[in-house]
Amino acid sequence: MNEYGFNPTWSDEQRRLALLERCWNPPTIAKLKRAGVGPGWRCLEVGAGNGSIARWLRDAVRPNGRVVAVDLDTRFIANEPSIEARQANILTDEIEPEAFDLVHCRALLHHLPGNEVAALKRMTAALRPGGFLLAEEPYSGPMIGSRTPAWAALWQAFVAAMPHADYIWPLSIGSAFRAAGLTDIEVSGAADVIQGGTPEAEFLRLTVEAVRNRLPPNVNIEPGIQLLRDPHSFEPGFVVYCALGRKAQ
Ligand SMILES: C[S@@+](CC[C@H](N)C(=O)[O-])C[C@H]1O[C@@H](n2cnc3c(N)ncnc32)[C@H](O)[C@@H]1O
């Protein structure tokens, strides 16, 4: 079974997730709107994290929709009105079949190496025929391949500290959707450029800090961290791969 690489009890974890949301929510919300999410929809948010997409869905599906938010740890989404927060593992716990018009996950599948398609199949089983599955996952290729040595070293060290995650897997998201039996698949990718000192850079800095005690001891990451603080620095960030598909009618 997969082991999640970030600790929800870390003092800055909620701030880290809130920064992720601030940076990544606008394109996510645009895609949810494009899929047609609206009043009455029944939505399942998997790996809900700090919960802002679940909250957006709750407001979008009023007055008679439904939002279920699943996570291994629901501390940041428990007690939200009109959101059914459910502590569960998408790979093992029961989810009601054919109960949702939309299933969404973001920055989740790359934490399930070897089990991505199994997770997608379980999400597909939860969809009604014709329902939508939207998944968004970060690909680290441009970061670890950067021509700025300090930047490449930082992200190579980060990836080494995350043995239970696969930041290259998102390249396969389209074929994984096919393997899960989805139809009408669309895949896109959006590349980020990280200017030091911005919320995007702060999200990445906290993402490294979260795993600092697991970084390889022989790598000096401080020059890379400096780039994250320097407003004159523009370095490649994640490419967020996005796949949208439908369950066959
Ligand atoms: C990087 S966070 C992303 C949070 C949120 N999706 C977002 O993009 O803002 C990944 C989340 O997935 C959850 N998670 C990891 N493995 C999971 C699993 N097997 N089942 C359910 N949730 C899981 C983690 O607890 C964490 O909240």
Cβ(73) – ligand 1 distance below 6 Å: yes
Answer whether residue 119 is part of any domain.
yes
Determine the structural domain holding residue 43 and report its residue range.
Answer: 13-247
d(CA 78, CA 74): 6
In a domain, 5, yes or no: no
Residue 3 within any structural domain of the chain:
no
pLDDT score at 1: 62
> Looking at the 3D structure of the chain, how many domains does it have?
1
Q: Looking at residues 167-182, what average pLDDT do you find?
A: 98
How would you class 70 by CB atoms within 10 Å of its CB: exposed for 0-12, middle for 13-18, buried for 19 or more?
A: buried
CA distance 233 to 235: 6
Nearest CA to ligand 1 atom 20: 89
Question: What is the Cα–Cα distance from 65 to 57, expressed in whole angstroms?
Answer: 9
Q: Is the distance from the beta carbon of residue 108 to the nearest atom of ligand 1 less than 6 Å?
A: yes
HSE-CB of 248 using CA atoms within 13 angstroms: 7
Instruction: Give 102-139 pLDDT, tens digit per residue.
Output: 999 999 999 999 999 999 999 999 999 999 999 999 99
Residue 74 half-sphere exposure toward CB, CA atoms < 13 A: 18
Residue 78 lies in a domain: yes
| C-beta of 116 in contact with ligand 1 (< 6 A) | no
- For residue 89, give the CATH number of its domain: 3.40.50.150
Question: Using a 6 Å cutoff on CB, does residue 10 contact ligand 1?
Answer: no
Atom of ligand 1 minimally distant from the CA of 105: 6
Is 2 among the domain residues?
no
Instruction: Say whether pLDDT at 197 is over 90.
Output: yes
Q: Is residue 70 part of a domain?
A: yes
Q: Which of 157, 111, 97, 102 is nearest to 131 (CA)?
A: 102
**What pLDDT is recorded for position 2?**
75
What mean pLDDT do residues 76-99 have? Answer: 97
